[in-house]
Amino acid sequence: MKRIFFLILFLISILGLIVCKEKKPIPELERFVVKSVIHPSNNPFNQEKVELGKTLYFDSRLSFNQDVSCASCHNTASPSEGFPRTKIHNPAPSLTNVALYKDVFKDPEAKELEDLVKDKVHSKLLFQNETKLIQRISSIQGYKELFERAYGDPEISGERIVLALSTFQRTIVSKNSSFDKFVMGEETALTPAQIRGWDVFQNKAKCIQCHQGPNFSDSELHTTGLAGIKDKVRTPTLRDVTKKKTFMHNGIFGSIEDTVNHFAEGGHSKAVHDPMLRPAELSDQDKKDLIEFLKALEGEPIQLEIPSIPKA
């Protein structure tokens, strides 16, 4: 009986050591981890404002013709099908991690997310007649209640709509991926293939030149080696990239494999090249490992359930 008792005690002590083993972050990699989103002092966070912004985001009555909402073309996974493409939405980018870009839009005049919401997207599709829009929203009792909860009084204005939409969009964040867990000390969070892929990402492929920081984007403008495309585009985040259905700013590639091949080849031979875009000698195994690493950047699922829209 004593032997059994001591054996049980020994097993419990071993289990305690395993459970209590302190997770030690990897200091040199912590800069890649999404920890928090900063809300500016002129638009502080509160949950009521998030709920208001989410409701507005899904409400087509913000559009001039009341036929399209923000969510109609911006989706956390991929653009919705059937929406007419414009220069702005070609295809419409996901807003996942939009708050983590250093400059949220390629126009250097837009330094804050609020600038993007107000001037660069909604002025084209939503705020074509702000007076009429405010009158429309103000006539809905449910919105008066939502604005009062968010701001302390029921006043409805274009500025408050922009602030609420921006606050909500800052909550669309992909985080706690397998890579984040690995960096924060969970040694088994990455598979051997993903660890090899991280090495390829940094060294052979040199993806890290442009894809860096917690958003895996330098937020800078680069040409991307596509034939016939001279314009530079902002480096997109690689978080959740393997969940996408189309790739590149114009959706030209239908698979992550085609995209990796494009960059491994240094882009199209007749394209305008960025100095940092050069051919990389990647084996088939290197490419597979690289894609496995990109899968490790998939964060926890972002659930965007359509809220209850106030009735007119």
User: Phi first, then psi: what are they for 18, rounded to 5°?
Assistant: -65, -45
In the Cβ-directed half-sphere of 204, how many Cα atoms lie within 13 Å?
Answer: 18
Binding residues: 70, 73-74, 207, 210-211
Residue 88 DSSP label: S
**What is the rounded distance in angstroms from the CA atom of residue 290 to the CA atom of residue 225?**
19
Binding residues for heme c: 70, 73-74, 207, 210-211
Residue 277: partners with Cβ closer than 8 Å, 6 or more residues away: 222, 223, 224, 225, 263, 266, 267
**What is the rounded distance in angstroms from the CA atom of residue 179 to the CA atom of residue 33?**
8
CA distances from 187 to 25, 176, 195 (A): 10, 14, 11
Q: Residue 172's closest CA among 249, 83, 74, 92?
A: 74
